[in-house]
Structure 1
Amino acid sequence: MTATIDHPSAERSRDLLTGVLLGDDFRREHGFWQRLISTEPFRRPERGGTEEERRALAYERLRVLNDSLDSGARLAADPRALAALHEWLGPVDPALTTLAGIHYNLFLGSLLDQGDEHRDLSDFLRLRRVGTFLCTEVAHGNDAAAVETTAEYDRERDGFVLRTPHAGAQKFMPNTSPSGGPKSGLVAARLLVDGADHGVFLFLVPLTDTVQALPGVRVRLLPTRTGSPVDHCLTSFDRVFVARTALLHGQHGRVGADGEFSSDVANRRRRFLTSIGRVTAGKIAMTACAVGCARATLAVAVRYGGHRHISGSRGSGRVPVIAHRSHHGPLASAMATVFAMSLLHRRVLDRWEANGPQEEAERLVAVAKGWITWQARSVIVESRERCGAQGLLEHNGMSELLTGIEGAITAEGDNVAVHAKAAAEMLFVAAPADSGRFPDTGPGDLGDPGFLGRLLAEVERIWFDRARRRMSLAPHGDPLARWNAASGPALRGVEAYAQRLAAEAYARAVAGLPEGPARERLGELQRLFALGRIARSGGDLLAAGLLTADQIHGLPDRLEELIATVAPHLPELAESFALPPEVLADWPIARPDYVDAYDDPQAAWQPDAERRTGPEER
């Protein structure tokens, strides 16, 4: 299980699997980021440093990154490049990834999407000023459309006055301190014109210089958040004036030179969603970050499992810990999940770029963000546990990524909230197209991936039918009671929907590979993923007559057989993640000589210890 890939046919197989994970054109799409994180500025320091030093390092790296780009504007305008940034920077420096995502996507992206084409962005493109994004408030997170910061139009000065009316309206967790240099932010605030509330818009507001907050802006560091240090702050405004051009305008709304408001969008909530449209790209970025972090931790766990040897049973000699079923079984299942996450992420990215029906695409992005980040947490927790106490040490990378994924689960909309919104929409959508299309002869073959896919579609249909039935039994005229009755099974339906889409992506990927080892490996993972999910719904499928009692009884054995098939290939599958050797070298337990990272140069076992110490010291 510890063999590395060096045979030409093995390299070909690895490259095919890398193409499955990263796309056929992965060298062009991902090569820049792979090379960047391999360079010295992005290598892991030998010592972690203080929190302030680590924050400073993240901003220094942001500047190195920016200097390496041919165009920050081009990056901000390219969702595929933004996703790749998060996929590769996430495992290396979560704090840097947070700063880069905010600056390039939420800040620059919003300016490019909605800003005046004559606006001078040179300070932000050259990072003379760092951009940040202030939407969430202490009292308003997932209900950000209800933010209470106001921007009131002042006709005499032809601009807006920003004000924070109370403690609950303080902007929550933006990186607004002077750390990293002068900052400007896009502030989500209620646009008031002559007392009329026109909804929430974004306003470009200078926040700090190199030393302190600007007049009228109050910035306070929040208590330390577990994980990578970012200067998360509470930010408030005391009658801060900005010019009329600070409003990011468009068809959703503008204030003209005559001081009158106009909009092509009548609905205030829709205006708000247009203003913060970059949050959807942010969800894709969170998904990419989760995929990259899960792959990295799994690769480290697989490598460490091959390097770490323990005593075998009954004097059989020392064996790698990964030889044990109790160790390689969870990693094999995690490998099937990581490929599913990666395939679904790429499907979502392709769909978003295709510019089809926007509402459907946004729902797909939201469902994928929730499911993939939750799966990533499970994979990271499992991988960390397989590395024992050493997986808890920060220098081995895993503990930092575990806390980082918690941030991704919450960022750009809490997972439960975005899944609940998707569930409410999907309750009124027809059942999956393929569900129920089973041959009259009864249950099919569990070795047939097509049959497994239809079972997953049926699981989705079962949960949504259950939700609709429960909703119909709840008291009419009480929307909350009806939703509470349906929400449990509806959320399970959203989970099943994500699993079905991942299984469909698996099927397409397997069909797209030529006959050979790569296709065999991917097919094994495909079946392991599908059977593992089907086993959790065996009772429902048995009751629906889609599985027999014998098939239910046989599922554990089938899963064990697949795990035994996948386990010997875990090292080569981890190689397909294409993690740069320099990055792997920065995590001690990923190296065969990991014990050397804990060696003591002054210890008695050193060859020159006798010469260096006297008897009294020994």
Structure 2
Amino acid sequence: MTATIATDPALSTTDLLKGVLLGGDFRREHGPWRRLVSTRPFRRRGDLTPDERLSLAYERLRILNGTLDSAARPASDPRALAAMHEWLGPVDPALTTVAGIHYNLFLGSLLDHDGDSRRDLSEFLELRRIGTFLCTEVAHGNDAAAVETTATYDRGRGGFVLHTPHSGAQKFMPNTSPAGGPKTGLVAARLLADDADHGVFLFLVPLTDEVRPLPGVRVRRLPARLGSPVDHCLTSFDQVFMERDALLGGAHGRIGDDGEFSSALPNRRRRFLTSIGRVTVGKLSMSAGAVGSARTALAVAVRYGGHRYISGPRAAQRVPVIAHRSHHGPLAEAMATVFAMSLLHRRALDRWEAQLAGGTEGGRAETERLIAVAKGWITWRARDVVVECRERCGAQALLENNGMAELLAGAEAVVTAEGDNLAIHAKAAAEMLFAAAPVAGGGVPGAAPGDLTDPRFLGRLHRQVEDIWFARAGNRMSGAPQGDALGRWNAASGQALRGVEAHAHRLAAEAYAEAVAALPEGPARERLAELERLFALRWVDRNSGDLLATGSLTPTQVRALPDSVEQLVTGVAGHLPALVESFALPEEVLADWPIARPDYADAYDDPGAPWQTGAAAEAAR
């Protein structure tokens, strides 16, 4: 079901804006996860070693699993899976990682490709065994279709032999240690049968028992990774035999009872993409986790700015640091960005649900590109927001107990997870560049003149920026020497990537416009319209030179842009605490971050200090 925005005019401003961010069915979609992260087992612990934090992540995974009516639900419901990432991400990134792998990449793939075997999944649904996913190799990341782990069909035994041929083919970074309990993996391997390479498929392989890897499986922990501790490992296989039903087969490829391979897809790359189709849902999940983390970082920064007092302009005067334009300005712009991220994420999620409900093959390709573009743009913007919020909280936010450093490390991780951002944007850039109509003479006609207060005009300017960059990319490609495909792409890729960035901005601006139009007249609509204009004008200001050159903006409008932006910053800044309330973050979660509390300084109190034990303390009593 496609989510809707809550538009009941009887709702409060906070509830209406919460509906904008989180959809109209908050109780069903987000309520269970919000309640879960509010419970005592999910309270933040600052006194644990990395190994203890890893054990806690797996303990929490079991608690989470026990709250589900069926563990298959997150695997089969992309909206539930995204919401899970949205709420778990800021609370426990390690848990989010292992839960996303188990429910999406592992269980989701089994459910998607279980038509041939109808295998018993109870041990995975009940977490007697934890699922993991082994695709990337030391020498193959974004080119995972070229993985070199082999699964050779043995006709005599009627099964496959899984093998790692050299160091570069070791599986890189799956959570395959015995930590948390016995593990089973889905291993991406090249299916070889009768001296033919049929492409890369997934194979179900038990990896460990409670204490050690199983025979033929070698697991070595990688060095500590930036951020939350996860048992990332190097994993390899030495002639491990698998029964024939280990192959996750289907129409894209199977070995029949006669030992012959068959596939409805003649292209090996398409077989591979079908096998790892859950990566698309993974991108949606990464976007959701990034959105949740950015909102949390911004909420903490706004709160801290309100109760961190500094010297004022007059003697003995104290003012909150957020009163300064240099402090509240970046947070106001971050607020406009966070709403844009949330709206673009929900647009991508809605489109994916609609596609699953009955879209066309061509529509699926377009939707997958939207999800990829959104994932890259949202996770990059999340990193920007978290970095800004960390700076606004100063040295306090560098301490692990205040949580911001963990959010920053988590933002770095999702930039790479489920497809490196630059790689997936480059793929989208190439697709969009080749689909773009050539512009005669290399120029781009300007947008029709308009008013900077008109959202429709701002929308045309967003489209104009996108067209400018793709036209430049096309011109550079056509001017490069023929016959050198890499050289032609290199000539155009910089401009094409800027075009994808502009495309994402345009999509986010369109989602903003739709959300504003859906709200009833009143304060909520006014607040959202301010954020929409701030987001749009910042982008127009950044690209004002190009827009002036095409005649889309007048010199007067370009000169007016800085003042227009400043007015919007002032308006948004006055509502920052109220806007944070629309994030619906549980007080129990925020209480775990000392700098989010007015009494943050008490976290540093010293029971043995003179002010506690000396004469001054006695007098105070």
TM-score (norm 1): 0.95
Equivalent AA in structure 2 for residue 187 of structure 1: V
CA-to-aligned-CA distance 1:209-235 (integer Å, 9 cap, x gap):
001000000000000001100000000
**1:325 match:** 325
**2:610 match:** 604
CA-to-aligned-CA distance 1:301-328 (integer Å, 9 cap, x gap):
0000001011111327101100000000
Q: 1:407 aligns with which of 401, 407, 413?
A: 413
**1:420 match:** 426
Unaligned runs of 5+ in 1: 1-8, 614-618
Return the alpha-carbon distance in structure 1 between the equivalents of residues 437 and 30 of structure 2.
37
The 1:550–1:612 alpha-carbon spacing in structure 2 relative to 1, beyond 3 Å, is closer
Q: 1:452 aligns with which of 429, 452, 458?
A: 458
Return the alpha-carbon distance in structure 2 between the equivalents of residues 558 and 298 of structure 1.
23
Equivalent AA in structure 2 for residue 378 of structure 1: D
Q: Mean Cα displacement is larger for which, 35-44 or 314-323?
A: 314-323
Query: Helix, strand or coil: the match of 1:482?
Result: helix
CA-to-aligned-CA distance 1:415-459 (integer Å, 9 cap, x gap):
000000000000022469xx96844xxx21111111111101100
**1:100 match:** 99
**2:504 match:** 498
Matches within 5 A, 1:262-277: 262-277=262-277
Equivalent AA in structure 2 for residue 567 of structure 1: A
* 4+ long deviations beyond 6 Å: none
Return the alpha-carbon distance in structure 2 between the equivalents of residues 11 and 319 of structure 1.
34
Q: Give the number of equivalent residue pairs.
A: 599
Matches within 5 A, 1:195-206: 195-206=195-206
Report the identity percentage: 74
Equivalent AA in structure 2 for residue 238 of structure 1: D
Query: Helix, strand or coil: the match of 2:187?
Result: strand
1:84 to 2:90 alignment? no
Contact 2:446 2:551 in 1 (8 A): no
Return the alpha-carbon distance in structure 2 between the equivalents of residues 48 and 351 of structure 1.
43
**2:4 match:** none
Return the alpha-carbon distance in structure 1 between the equivalents of residues 183 and 152 of structure 2.
23
**1:576 match:** 582
Return the alpha-carbon distance in structure 1 between the equivalents of residues 502 and 63 of structure 2.
42
Unaligned runs of 5+ in 2: 1-8, 439-443
Matches within 5 A, 1:53-72: 53-72=52-71
CA-to-aligned-CA distance 1:360-387 (integer Å, 9 cap, x gap):
0110000000000000000000000000
Q: Mean Cα displacement is larger for which, 111-120 or 560-569?
A: 111-120
CA-to-aligned-CA distance 1:305-363 (integer Å, 9 cap, x gap):
00101111132710110000000000000000000000000000000111131100110
Equivalent AA in structure 2 for residue 506 of structure 1: Y
Contact 2:377 2:501 in 1 (8 A): yes
Query: Cα offset for 1:118?
Result: 1.9
Contact 2:14 2:578 in 1 (8 A): yes
Query: Cα offset for 1:601?
Result: 1.5
**1:143 match:** 143
Query: Helix, strand or coil: the match of 2:238?
Result: strand
**2:174 match:** 174
Q: 2:396 aligns with which of 372, 376, 390?
A: 390
1:246 to 2:252 alignment? no
Q: Mean Cα displacement is larger for which, 301-310 or 109-118?
A: 109-118
RMSD over aligned CA atoms reads: 1.6
The 1:117–1:20 alpha-carbon spacing in structure 2 relative to 1, beyond 3 Å, is farther
**2:539 match:** 533
**2:338 match:** 338
Contact 2:446 2:547 in 1 (8 A): no
1:114 to 2:120 alignment? no
**1:298 match:** 298
**1:3 match:** none
Return the alpha-carbon distance in structure 1 between the equivalents of residues 178 and 20 of structure 2.
42
Query: Cα offset for 1:597?
Result: 1.3
The 1:383–1:250 alpha-carbon spacing in structure 2 relative to 1, beyond 3 Å, is same
**1:50 match:** 49
Return the alpha-carbon distance in structure 2 between the equivalents of residues 328 and 480 of structure 1.
45
Return the alpha-carbon distance in structure 2 between the equivalents of residues 491 and 48 of structure 1.
44
Return the alpha-carbon distance in structure 2 between the equivalents of residues 437 and 23 of structure 1.
36
CA-to-aligned-CA distance 1:555-575 (integer Å, 9 cap, x gap):
111111110111010000011
Query: Helix, strand or coil: the match of 1:174?
Result: strand
Matches within 5 A, 1:185-264: 185-264=185-264
Contact 1:602 1:609 in 2 (8 A): no
Contact 2:188 2:203 in 1 (8 A): yes
TM-score (norm 2): 0.95
The 1:611–1:536 alpha-carbon spacing in structure 2 relative to 1, beyond 3 Å, is closer
**1:6 match:** none
Return the alpha-carbon distance in structure 2 between the equivalents of residues 10 and 318 of structure 1.
39
